[in-house]
Amino acid sequence: MDKRTLGTGGPQVSALGLGCMGISSGLGPAASTAEGVAVIRAAVEHGVTLFDTAEAYGPFVNERVVGEALAPYRDQVTIATKFGFTFGADGRQNGLDSRPEHIREVADAALQRLGVDVIDLFYQHRVDPAVPIEDVAGTVKELVHAGKVRWFGLSEAGVDTIRRAHAVHPVTALQSEYSLWWREPEAEILPALAQLGIGFVPFSPLGRGFLTGAIDARTTFTGGDIRSSIPRFSPQARRANQALVDLLATIAARRGATPGQVALAWLLAQQPWIVPIPGTRSPARLSENVGAAGLALTADDLAEIDRGAAAIDVHGDRYPAHLQQLIDR
Protein backbone atom coordinates (compact mmCIF):
# COMPACT_ATOMS: atom_id res chain seq x y z
CA MET A 1 0.00 0.00 0.00
CA ASP A 2 1.18 3.54 -0.72
CA LYS A 3 2.52 5.53 2.22
CA ARG A 4 1.64 9.01 3.44
CA THR A 5 3.34 11.28 5.97
CA LEU A 6 1.38 12.64 8.91
CA GLY A 7 2.43 16.18 9.69
CA THR A 8 5.77 17.88 9.34
CA GLY A 9 8.30 15.44 10.72
CA GLY A 10 5.61 12.93 11.62
CA PRO A 11 5.41 9.21 10.85
CA GLN A 12 5.14 7.70 7.40
CA VAL A 13 2.13 5.39 7.47
CA SER A 14 -0.09 3.42 5.12
CA ALA A 15 -2.59 5.49 3.11
CA LEU A 16 -5.38 3.77 5.05
CA GLY A 17 -5.18 2.92 8.73
CA LEU A 18 -7.40 0.72 10.90
CA GLY A 19 -9.74 2.19 13.48
CA CYS A 20 -9.93 -0.46 16.21
CA MET A 21 -12.70 0.96 18.41
CA GLY A 22 -15.48 -1.23 17.02
CA ILE A 23 -13.64 -4.40 17.95
CA SER A 24 -14.30 -3.68 21.62
CA SER A 25 -17.03 -1.05 21.91
CA GLY A 26 -19.58 1.15 20.18
CA LEU A 27 -21.01 -1.44 17.80
CA GLY A 28 -22.76 -3.86 20.12
CA PRO A 29 -21.14 -6.72 22.06
CA ALA A 30 -17.36 -6.79 21.88
CA ALA A 31 -15.59 -9.23 19.61
CA SER A 32 -13.49 -11.86 21.31
CA THR A 33 -9.80 -11.18 21.81
CA ALA A 34 -9.02 -13.87 19.24
CA GLU A 35 -11.30 -12.26 16.66
CA GLY A 36 -9.81 -8.82 17.32
CA VAL A 37 -6.25 -10.08 17.10
CA ALA A 38 -7.04 -11.91 13.86
CA VAL A 39 -8.50 -8.89 12.04
CA ILE A 40 -5.71 -6.58 13.21
CA ARG A 41 -3.04 -9.02 12.04
CA ALA A 42 -4.90 -9.45 8.74
CA ALA A 43 -4.67 -5.67 8.32
CA VAL A 44 -0.89 -5.86 8.76
CA GLU A 45 -0.76 -8.51 6.05
CA HIS A 46 -2.70 -6.13 3.78
CA GLY A 47 -0.06 -3.43 4.32
CA VAL A 48 -1.83 -1.34 6.98
CA THR A 49 0.66 0.28 9.36
CA LEU A 50 -1.45 2.82 11.34
CA PHE A 51 -3.62 1.43 14.13
CA ASP A 52 -5.91 3.59 16.25
CA THR A 53 -7.08 2.75 19.76
CA ALA A 54 -7.91 4.54 23.04
CA GLU A 55 -8.30 3.84 26.73
CA ALA A 56 -12.00 4.72 26.30
CA TYR A 57 -12.63 1.80 23.93
CA GLY A 58 -13.93 -0.87 26.24
CA PRO A 59 -12.74 0.92 28.33
CA PHE A 60 -9.14 -0.33 28.47
CA VAL A 61 -9.83 -3.62 26.66
CA ASN A 62 -9.06 -2.37 23.18
CA GLU A 63 -5.53 -1.22 23.98
CA ARG A 64 -4.73 -4.71 25.29
CA VAL A 65 -6.11 -6.37 22.15
CA VAL A 66 -4.18 -3.99 19.89
CA GLY A 67 -1.00 -4.50 21.90
CA GLU A 68 -1.27 -8.28 21.74
CA ALA A 69 -2.07 -8.27 18.03
CA LEU A 70 0.77 -5.98 17.05
CA ALA A 71 3.50 -7.31 19.35
CA PRO A 72 5.13 -9.37 16.55
CA TYR A 73 5.12 -6.32 14.23
CA ARG A 74 6.06 -3.54 16.64
CA ASP A 75 8.87 -2.13 14.51
CA GLN A 76 6.64 -2.07 11.40
CA VAL A 77 3.61 -0.18 12.71
CA THR A 78 2.46 3.12 14.22
CA ILE A 79 0.12 2.84 17.20
CA ALA A 80 -2.06 5.77 18.22
CA THR A 81 -3.96 5.97 21.50
CA LYS A 82 -5.72 8.71 23.47
CA PHE A 83 -6.23 10.38 26.83
CA GLY A 84 -8.82 12.78 28.19
CA PHE A 85 -11.63 10.89 29.97
CA THR A 86 -12.20 9.46 33.43
CA PHE A 87 -14.14 6.29 34.19
CA GLY A 88 -16.15 4.96 37.09
CA ALA A 89 -15.91 1.52 38.63
CA ASP A 90 -18.63 0.37 36.22
CA GLY A 91 -16.56 1.44 33.24
CA ARG A 92 -18.79 4.35 32.31
CA GLN A 93 -17.21 7.65 31.35
CA ASN A 94 -17.30 10.14 34.21
CA GLY A 95 -16.38 13.16 32.12
CA LEU A 96 -13.39 14.94 30.70
CA ASP A 97 -10.02 15.10 32.43
CA SER A 98 -6.92 16.49 30.73
CA ARG A 99 -5.16 17.68 33.87
CA PRO A 100 -1.39 17.22 33.49
CA GLU A 101 -1.19 14.66 36.28
CA HIS A 102 -3.97 12.63 34.68
CA ILE A 103 -2.31 12.73 31.25
CA ARG A 104 0.86 11.34 32.79
CA GLU A 105 -1.10 8.58 34.56
CA VAL A 106 -2.89 7.61 31.33
CA ALA A 107 0.38 7.51 29.40
CA ASP A 108 1.98 5.12 31.90
CA ALA A 109 -1.12 2.89 31.95
CA ALA A 110 -1.36 2.86 28.14
CA LEU A 111 2.27 1.85 27.81
CA GLN A 112 1.56 -1.16 30.03
CA ARG A 113 -1.68 -2.15 28.32
CA LEU A 114 -0.16 -1.85 24.85
CA GLY A 115 3.02 -3.60 25.95
CA VAL A 116 5.24 -1.00 24.29
CA ASP A 117 8.14 1.23 25.33
CA VAL A 118 6.77 4.34 23.63
CA ILE A 119 3.38 5.57 22.43
CA ASP A 120 3.78 6.56 18.79
CA LEU A 121 0.91 9.06 18.57
CA PHE A 122 -0.86 10.36 21.70
CA TYR A 123 -4.13 12.21 21.06
CA GLN A 124 -6.18 14.34 23.40
CA HIS A 125 -9.47 12.49 22.86
CA ARG A 126 -11.67 15.54 23.40
CA VAL A 127 -10.80 19.12 24.30
CA ASP A 128 -11.24 19.77 28.04
CA PRO A 129 -12.51 23.33 28.58
CA ALA A 130 -11.39 23.18 32.23
CA VAL A 131 -7.71 22.78 31.30
CA PRO A 132 -5.84 25.31 29.11
CA ILE A 133 -4.69 23.60 25.93
CA GLU A 134 -1.24 25.08 26.55
CA ASP A 135 -1.00 22.95 29.70
CA VAL A 136 -2.07 19.88 27.76
CA ALA A 137 0.46 20.45 24.98
CA GLY A 138 3.17 21.22 27.53
CA THR A 139 2.53 17.97 29.36
CA VAL A 140 2.71 15.92 26.16
CA LYS A 141 5.90 17.80 25.29
CA GLU A 142 7.37 16.60 28.59
CA LEU A 143 6.32 13.03 27.76
CA VAL A 144 8.02 13.34 24.37
CA HIS A 145 11.23 14.55 26.03
CA ALA A 146 10.96 11.66 28.51
CA GLY A 147 10.82 9.17 25.63
CA LYS A 148 7.31 7.94 26.46
CA VAL A 149 5.58 9.55 23.44
CA ARG A 150 6.76 10.24 19.90
CA TRP A 151 4.06 12.52 18.45
CA PHE A 152 1.19 14.67 19.73
CA GLY A 153 -2.32 14.68 18.30
CA LEU A 154 -5.72 16.30 18.90
CA SER A 155 -9.21 14.96 18.24
CA GLU A 156 -12.30 17.00 17.36
CA ALA A 157 -10.45 20.23 18.17
CA GLY A 158 -11.35 23.62 16.68
CA VAL A 159 -8.95 25.89 14.79
CA ASP A 160 -8.15 28.18 17.75
CA THR A 161 -7.33 25.20 19.97
CA ILE A 162 -5.16 23.64 17.28
CA ARG A 163 -3.17 26.84 16.80
CA ARG A 164 -2.65 27.38 20.53
CA ALA A 165 -1.52 23.79 21.07
CA HIS A 166 0.77 23.85 18.04
CA ALA A 167 2.51 26.96 19.38
CA VAL A 168 3.59 25.00 22.47
CA HIS A 169 4.45 21.68 20.85
CA PRO A 170 3.99 20.58 17.22
CA VAL A 171 0.67 18.86 16.58
CA THR A 172 1.38 15.97 14.23
CA ALA A 173 -2.20 14.95 13.45
CA LEU A 174 -5.80 15.94 13.99
CA GLN A 175 -8.39 13.19 14.19
CA SER A 176 -11.97 14.23 13.46
CA GLU A 177 -14.94 12.91 11.55
CA TYR A 178 -14.82 13.57 7.82
CA SER A 179 -16.62 11.86 4.97
CA LEU A 180 -18.97 12.63 2.12
CA TRP A 181 -21.80 12.99 4.63
CA TRP A 182 -19.86 15.18 7.09
CA ARG A 183 -17.82 17.84 5.26
CA GLU A 184 -17.66 20.56 7.90
CA PRO A 185 -13.83 20.27 8.23
CA GLU A 186 -13.45 21.65 4.71
CA ALA A 187 -14.47 25.18 5.75
CA GLU A 188 -11.80 26.02 8.35
CA ILE A 189 -10.05 22.90 9.63
CA LEU A 190 -8.40 21.67 6.42
CA PRO A 191 -6.99 25.10 5.44
CA ALA A 192 -5.51 25.51 8.94
CA LEU A 193 -3.95 22.05 8.87
CA ALA A 194 -2.41 22.76 5.46
CA GLN A 195 -0.96 26.01 6.74
CA LEU A 196 0.48 24.45 9.90
CA GLY A 197 1.73 21.22 8.35
CA ILE A 198 -0.54 18.94 10.37
CA GLY A 199 -1.84 15.61 9.08
CA PHE A 200 -5.53 14.70 9.14
CA VAL A 201 -6.89 11.32 10.25
CA PRO A 202 -10.63 11.08 9.47
CA PHE A 203 -12.58 8.70 11.65
CA SER A 204 -15.91 7.27 10.49
CA PRO A 205 -14.82 7.80 6.86
CA LEU A 206 -17.62 5.45 5.78
CA GLY A 207 -20.29 7.27 7.78
CA ARG A 208 -20.26 4.56 10.50
CA GLY A 209 -20.96 2.02 7.79
CA PHE A 210 -23.79 3.83 6.05
CA LEU A 211 -21.77 4.76 2.95
CA THR A 212 -21.01 1.10 2.24
CA GLY A 213 -24.62 0.55 1.22
CA ALA A 214 -25.03 -2.23 3.80
CA ILE A 215 -27.45 -0.17 5.95
CA ASP A 216 -30.91 1.01 4.97
CA ALA A 217 -34.10 2.21 6.68
CA ARG A 218 -35.01 -1.37 7.68
CA THR A 219 -31.71 -2.11 9.44
CA THR A 220 -31.91 -2.68 13.19
CA PHE A 221 -29.05 -2.09 15.63
CA THR A 222 -28.22 -4.30 18.59
CA GLY A 223 -27.90 -3.09 22.17
CA GLY A 224 -24.70 -1.16 22.76
CA ASP A 225 -24.51 0.02 19.15
CA ILE A 226 -23.94 3.78 19.25
CA ARG A 227 -25.82 4.20 15.98
CA SER A 228 -29.11 3.44 17.74
CA SER A 229 -28.84 6.82 19.50
CA ILE A 230 -27.53 8.92 16.60
CA PRO A 231 -30.17 11.09 14.88
CA ARG A 232 -28.55 10.52 11.51
CA PHE A 233 -29.41 6.84 11.85
CA SER A 234 -33.12 7.21 12.52
CA PRO A 235 -35.14 5.26 9.93
CA GLN A 236 -36.42 8.52 8.42
CA ALA A 237 -32.92 9.96 8.11
CA ARG A 238 -31.55 6.77 6.62
CA ARG A 239 -34.32 6.78 4.05
CA ALA A 240 -33.49 10.36 3.03
CA ASN A 241 -29.73 9.81 3.10
CA GLN A 242 -29.92 6.82 0.77
CA ALA A 243 -29.47 9.28 -2.09
CA LEU A 244 -25.83 9.67 -1.13
CA VAL A 245 -25.25 5.92 -1.28
CA ASP A 246 -27.00 5.81 -4.65
CA LEU A 247 -24.61 8.45 -5.94
CA LEU A 248 -21.60 6.41 -4.80
CA ALA A 249 -23.10 3.26 -6.28
CA THR A 250 -23.38 4.93 -9.69
CA ILE A 251 -19.66 5.75 -9.71
CA ALA A 252 -18.78 2.35 -8.24
CA ALA A 253 -20.65 0.44 -10.97
CA ARG A 254 -18.75 2.34 -13.64
CA ARG A 255 -15.37 1.77 -11.97
CA GLY A 256 -15.85 -1.87 -10.96
CA ALA A 257 -15.72 -0.94 -7.28
CA THR A 258 -18.05 -0.75 -4.29
CA PRO A 259 -19.74 2.35 -2.83
CA GLY A 260 -17.51 2.13 0.23
CA GLN A 261 -14.37 2.01 -1.89
CA VAL A 262 -15.48 5.09 -3.81
CA ALA A 263 -16.17 6.91 -0.53
CA LEU A 264 -12.67 6.12 0.77
CA ALA A 265 -10.99 6.91 -2.56
CA TRP A 266 -12.77 10.28 -2.58
CA LEU A 267 -11.26 11.07 0.81
CA LEU A 268 -7.79 9.99 -0.27
CA ALA A 269 -8.06 12.29 -3.29
CA GLN A 270 -8.72 15.38 -1.16
CA GLN A 271 -5.18 15.84 0.21
CA PRO A 272 -1.99 13.74 0.27
CA TRP A 273 -1.76 14.17 4.05
CA ILE A 274 -5.18 12.65 4.79
CA VAL A 275 -5.14 9.10 6.22
CA PRO A 276 -8.63 7.68 6.87
CA ILE A 277 -9.06 4.98 9.52
CA PRO A 278 -12.09 2.85 8.61
CA GLY A 279 -12.86 0.28 11.27
CA THR A 280 -14.19 -3.25 10.89
CA ARG A 281 -14.33 -6.65 12.54
CA SER A 282 -14.88 -8.41 9.21
CA PRO A 283 -11.96 -9.81 7.17
CA ALA A 284 -14.07 -9.41 4.02
CA ARG A 285 -14.84 -5.76 4.76
CA LEU A 286 -11.16 -5.21 5.61
CA SER A 287 -10.13 -6.51 2.19
CA GLU A 288 -12.74 -4.30 0.53
CA ASN A 289 -11.58 -1.21 2.42
CA VAL A 290 -7.93 -1.82 1.64
CA GLY A 291 -8.83 -2.11 -2.04
CA ALA A 292 -9.88 1.53 -2.00
CA ALA A 293 -6.22 2.56 -1.68
CA GLY A 294 -5.68 1.31 -5.23
CA LEU A 295 -8.72 3.06 -6.69
CA ALA A 296 -7.68 6.30 -8.38
CA LEU A 297 -10.75 8.39 -9.12
CA THR A 298 -10.53 10.57 -12.21
CA ALA A 299 -11.13 14.31 -12.24
CA ASP A 300 -14.48 13.60 -13.90
CA ASP A 301 -15.38 11.10 -11.15
CA LEU A 302 -14.53 13.62 -8.43
CA ALA A 303 -16.45 16.40 -10.14
CA GLU A 304 -19.50 14.15 -10.53
CA ILE A 305 -19.36 13.19 -6.85
CA ASP A 306 -19.05 16.81 -5.74
CA ARG A 307 -21.92 17.94 -7.97
CA GLY A 308 -24.15 15.13 -6.84
CA ALA A 309 -23.31 15.50 -3.13
CA ALA A 310 -23.94 19.25 -3.26
CA ALA A 311 -27.51 18.56 -4.34
CA ILE A 312 -28.18 16.16 -1.45
CA ASP A 313 -29.32 17.47 1.92
CA VAL A 314 -27.98 15.04 4.53
CA HIS A 315 -30.56 14.51 7.27
CA GLY A 316 -29.95 14.15 11.01
CA ASP A 317 -27.31 15.33 13.46
CA ARG A 318 -24.15 13.26 13.63
CA TYR A 319 -24.30 12.96 17.45
CA PRO A 320 -26.99 12.98 20.13
CA ALA A 321 -27.01 16.18 22.19
CA HIS A 322 -24.96 14.84 25.13
CA LEU A 323 -22.07 13.93 22.80
CA GLN A 324 -22.39 16.97 20.56
CA GLN A 325 -21.44 19.20 23.49
CA LEU A 326 -18.00 17.55 23.63
CA ILE A 327 -17.02 18.95 20.22
CA ASP A 328 -14.64 21.91 20.35
CA ARG A 329 -15.46 24.91 18.18
Which residues have C-beta within 8 Å of that of residue 251, sequence separation ≥ 6? Answer: 257, 262, 297, 301, 304, 305
* Element holding 119 (H helix, E strand): strand 119-124
190 vs 165: CA distance, rounded Å: 16
- Residue in 221, 263, 268, 264 with CA at minimum distance from that of residue 244: 263
State the Cα–Cα distance between residues 312 and 308, nearest whole angstrom. 7
Query: Which of the 8 DSSP states describes residue 90?
Result: T
Task: For residue 178, indicate whether it is catalytic.
Answer: no
Dist. CA 62–CA 242, nearest whole Å: 32
Rounded to whole angstroms, how far apart are CA atoms 269 and 171?
A: 23
Instruction: List beta partners, residue 5.
Output: 12
Containing H/E element for 120?
A: strand 119-124
DSSP 3-state assignment of 78? strand
Active-site hit among 57, 123, 178, 319: 57
> Beta 50-52 vs 171-177: how paired, if at all?
unpaired
Shortest CA distance to 178 belongs to which of 187, 170, 186?
186
Pairing of strands 78-83, 119-124: parallel
The residues that are catalytic are 57
